[in-house]
Amino acid sequence: MAQSVLLTGAAGRVGTAILADLADEHEWRLMDRDPMTDDHPGEFVVADITDEEAVREAMDGVDVVIHLAGDPRPDAPWDSVLTNNIDGTQTIFEAAVDADVEKVVFASSNHAVGAYETEERTPDLYRAHDDYLLDGTELPRPGNLYGVSKAAGESIGRYYHDEFGLSVACVRIGNLTEGHPPIDYERGQAMWLSYRDCAHLFDRCIRADYEFEIVYGISDNDRKYYSIERAKEALGYEPQDNSARHD
């Protein structure tokens, strides 16, 4: 069944991947601080996610929020991630609860667990023969302040689930690259997420029933150190792409 979905950060790369395949699948309300130049479905709200009033207005009548807006740079400075990624995320969750939204899907990141990639484990970790696997039950272990902000976003989601019963899915997105896996970048190949698998995974997050989930958002790559089993079990994720098929 089509759902009414608020998509924050709609003008960015992940938003573009989602809308490319799902424009006709749901009723969209799009939000970004930058206007969208391309054709887009639904209504577009130009607003900053730290603007409480604008966020509350945009949340009206919405079933599901996909929250992508934020500073995506792994080397982003603290003042930016504090404002855009932590404060902005709390504003979204608070407004979602107040508006009786059913589900919030939070764009977390591989960088929330980046420090598991120790000198001893790498580069073997990025290769198919290695069996080290993170499955989403491990503690966050960020390797930069951006990763700290994503771990904080997951905790904010946990709090709003436990305290208010909101369904929350945190997707630790790997490396979204259009058309083919990253070239000459083993780490990126191991965590490649194709555009169509990205759209499908977020569609499953919109449609599935769950309580609180942390899943990895990568394609079904032969080389992988993130398990996609929980995304399959809890959400019905069925990826079609594999970075090994593009060598």
Q: Tell me the catalytic residues.
A: 146
Window 187-206: contact mask with ligand LXAUTJHC (x via CB under 6 A): xx------------------
Q: Is 149 annotated as a binding residue?
A: no
Among 54, 62, 68, 152, binds ligand NAI (CB under 6 A): 68
Cα–Cα dist 166/168, whole Å? 6
Among 42, 74, 143, 236, binds ligand LXAUTJHC (CB under 6 A): 74
Distances (CA, A) of 45 to 7, 48, 53, 55, 180: 10, 9, 12, 9, 32
Nearest to 103 by CA among 174, 234, 3, 198: 3
Q: Decide which of ligand LXAUTJHC, ligand NAI, none touches 32; Cβ closer than 5 to 8 Å per partner kind.
A: ligand NAI
Q: Decide which of ligand LXAUTJHC, ligand NAI, none touches 188; Cβ closer than 5 to 8 Å per partner kind.
A: ligand LXAUTJHC
Q: Is 103 annotated as a binding residue?
A: no
Q: Which stretch binds ligand LXAUTJHC (CB under 6 A): 17-25, 31-39, 104-112, 154-162?
A: 104-112
Cα–Cα dist 147/133, whole Å? 19
**Which residues share a beta bridge with 30?**
7, 44
Window 160-179: contact mask with ligand LXAUTJHC (x via CB under 6 A): ---------------x----
Cα–Cα dist 79/167, whole Å? 29
Residue type (1 letter), 155: S
Query: How many residues of this chain interact with ligand NAI, rule: CB under 6 A?
Result: 23
The DSSP H or E segment spanning 68 is none
**Do residues 102 and 141 make contact, with C-beta atoms less than 8 angstroms apart?**
no
Residue type (1 letter), 200: H
Using the rule CB under 6 A, is 32 a contact of ligand NAI? Answer: yes
Cα–Cα dist 91/180, whole Å? 35
| Nearest CB to ligand LXAUTJHC, comparing residues 26 and 67 | 67
Chain positions contacting ligand NAI, by CB under 6 A: 9, 11-15, 32-34, 48-50, 68-70, 72, 84, 88, 107, 109, 173, 175-176
